[in-house]
Amino acid sequence: QVVSSTPGPDSLPVGTIWSAFCLERNEDVYENIVYDTVGNTNAVKGGMEWVSGYGSARVLAGPGGDPLDTMTAWIHMNWETEGFDGYEAQNAIWYIEAELDTLGTVKAQQIFDAAYDAVYGATQWKNHSVRVLNLSLNGEHIQDHTYSVVPAPGAIVLTGLGTCMIG
């Protein structure tokens, strides 16, 4: 939930709650804590050293961070309208973002396949609005989340993370 915001065309109003997916499997976020945020196109750190790719096609992350994969952006924009289970969508995202070695379930595979078809199939879906929200606390990087409206830099408190795995 946004607790402060600088007015502007891309800012989120105070009180806004949005659905988000965690990009880093091994970085924890806790409810009711105010985090500093920066909108970005890259995850700052990865839970693993891989930046992208699936199976043997993985690529190591560079100094600029881990760019958001277009398939991840498609899942973020379409998971509710496609009727995807949030937990399975999260696992598909972690696989796409090289945080998991395998998809693990048939449902996660189906979500991955739908995203792959949308991005690399006939429609060639392009990401125009999903970004990465880098969260930090006292100058220390905490986690990276997806979001689809660019909030103004500032502080947010996460009180309803939707599908993000908290722990």
The number of residues in the chain equals: 167
27-56: average pLDDT = 69
H or E stretch covering 92: helix 86-96
Residue 63 has which token pair? 């100094």
Residue 34 banded pLDDT, cuts 50, 70, 90 = confident
What confidence score (pLDDT) does residue 24 get?
86
Which of 100, 111, 149, 98 lies closest to 128 in space, CA to CA? 149
pLDDT tens digits along 97-122: 888 889 989 999 999 999 999 999 99
In percent, how much of the chain has pLDDT > 70? 66
